[in-house]
Amino acid sequence: MKEDPRHIHISEYSYPLPDERIAKFPLPTRDQSKLLIYRRGEVSEDVFTSLPGYLPQGSLMIFNNTKVIQARLHFRKETGALIEVFCLEPIQPNDYVLNFQQTVHAAWLCMIGNLKKWKDRQLKREMTVKGFPITLTATRGECKGTSHWVDFAWDNPEVTFADILEVFGELPIPPYLNRDTEESDKETYQTVYSKIKGSVAAPTAGLHFTPRVLDALQEKGINLEELTLHVGAGTFKPVKSEEIEGHEMHTEYISVNRSTIKKLIDHDGCAIAVGTTSVRTLESLYHIGVTLAENPYATEEELRVKQWQPYEKYDQIPPVVALQKILGYLDRNGLETLHTSTQIIIAPGYNYKIVKAMVTNFHQPQSTLLLLVSAFVKGNWRTIYDYALAHDFRFLSYGDSSLLIP
């Protein structure tokens, strides 16, 4: 490992991003977005529908199938004050699927808007869900950093927490769009292959894919696989510290099926990742395998990938061996799916193990996502971003796309 990424100055990862370059809405047709191609230092451009032509036949492409939930709930107090409760991650039960199935009570870690107006009493909201009149209450519990424990309770066992969010929640679009959520966002801020509810932000590289692009990829002989990483609000958290050592990465929950791990092994531990969330999951798999190589009987807790773990363990086992260790773990425990979490930070100095090419959008200045891209293109991110700025590319979540092949 050549450099210690902890001492990277985030100010070196800045570039001018005028507000008018941030795409406030997507294009009418998703796959007509521009595609920047970066191949071994050379930059060119095309349209997204041409993506399959740039990928080698027989390669493995991996998508994040998470679905954005309508995570913002609004309560109005008798005084007229509006309180926003933004569900970040489930606490009780702490499994997403189980939590969404709850029929009387569910607890979440939440960010709260207009917190100073929420003094003591419960918040209440009358609503009709699936034809049933219910009263939803929210009770604030202990503070955890910038978030709070919130207990939700409702008085009809025919209604699940998923039903409540579906009817009364609001889709949380990124804060930098500086606009309210519109009805159209419910469709355009989901990937066409989204399935597993749990994210509070979309894996935006996937927003460009349409059924015709997915069909064209398969016709080219490219294998398509899915995994799940639930994107947390921390993905928008700016790096405030001068050196990135002072930035605490958020934890995100991942699940990967045995069949996907087998597919990765069949492809010599090499993959094309769609989006930084897929990148972080795939690279985390390698480090989980390293943990299991050292301790085959590691607990689920011990498998969690810590922020700086990749820079502290110098174990150089091949990616295929790391993936085989995970298969062995699943076999020993009678599991079909690996469930764990990752806090990995990928920054210059990181050595990529599994991801050989990535599809990704253009990220905010001074963000951990820009660090991830820089690590992938060996520090050559400015060439890419200068080109995109000079050639009218649209930036951030609803913006254009790039294919990076270092």
H-helix or E-strand containing 273? strand 271-274
State the DSSP string of 285-343.
Answer: HHHHHHHHHH-TT--HHHHSBPTTHHHH------HHHHHHHHHHHHHHTT-SEEEEEE-
Instruction: Please state the rounded mean pLDDT for residues 113-124.
Output: 89
| 102: number of Cβ within 10 Å | 21
- Please report, rounded to a whole number, the percentage of residues in the chain having pLDDT higher than 90: 91
DSSP 176-187: GG-S---TTHHH
Closest CA to 318 of 263, 273, 269: 269
CB 76 within 8 A of CB 209: no
Average pLDDT, the chain: 95
Strand order in the sheet with 401-405: 42-47, 34-39, 401-405, 355-361, 271-274, 60-64, 223-230, 252-257, 337-342
pLDDT digits (tens, 9 = 90+) for 206-220: 999 999 999 999 999
- Regarding the domain delimited by 5-67+187-404, which CATH topology (the fold level of the hierarchy) does it fall under? QueA-like (3.40.1780)
**Percent over 70 (pLDDT), the chain:** 99
Specify the pLDDT at position 237.
Answer: 78
Which residues have CB under 8 Å from 118's CB, separation 6+? 77, 83, 112, 140
| CA distances from residue 345 to 69, 277, 284 in whole angstroms, order as listed | 25, 12, 10
pLDDT tens digits along 128-185: 999 999 999 999 999 988 899 999 999 999 999 999 999 999 999 998 999 999 999 9
* Residue 353: both structure tokens together: 């193990």
Query: Is the model's pLDDT at 89 over the cut of 60?
Result: yes
Strands (E), 30-131: 34-39, 42-47, 60-64, 66-68, 72-76, 82-92, 105-113, 123-129
3-state secondary structure of 61: strand
Give the number of residues written for the chain.
Answer: 406
Question: Per residue in 253-279, pLDDT tens?
Answer: 999 999 999 999 999 999 999 999 999
- Whether the per-residue pLDDT at 2 is higher than 60: the answer is no
249 token code pair: 């990465």
In tens, the pLDDT along 276-322 reads 999 999 999 999 999 999 999 999 899 999 999 999 876 789 999 99
Q: Return the half-sphere exposure (C-beta side, CA atoms, 13 A cut-off) of residue 222.
A: 23
pLDDT at 314: 66
Closest residue by Cα to residue 103 from 151, 161, 166? 161
pLDDT number for residue 250: 86
pTM: 0.94
161 Cβ neighbours under 8 A, 6+ residues apart? 99, 100, 101, 102, 103, 106, 152
- List CB contacts of 145: < 8 A, sequence separation 6 or more: none
Q: How buried is 237 (Cβ within 10 angstroms: 0-12 exposed, 13-18 middle, 19+ buried)? A: middle
- List the structure tokens of 61: 């492409």
pLDDT digits (tens, 9 = 90+) for 183-207: 999 999 999 999 999 999 999 999 9
Residue 1 pLDDT > 50? no
Q: Higher model confidence: residue 313 or residue 10?
A: 10
Mean pLDDT of 323-330: 98
pLDDT band at 3 (very low <50, low <70, confident <90, very high): low
- Is the model's pLDDT at 350 over the cut of 60? yes
What pLDDT digit, counting tens, does each position of 27-78 carry?
999 999 999 999 999 999 999 999 999 999 999 999 999 999 999 999 998 8
pLDDT recorded at residue 320? 98
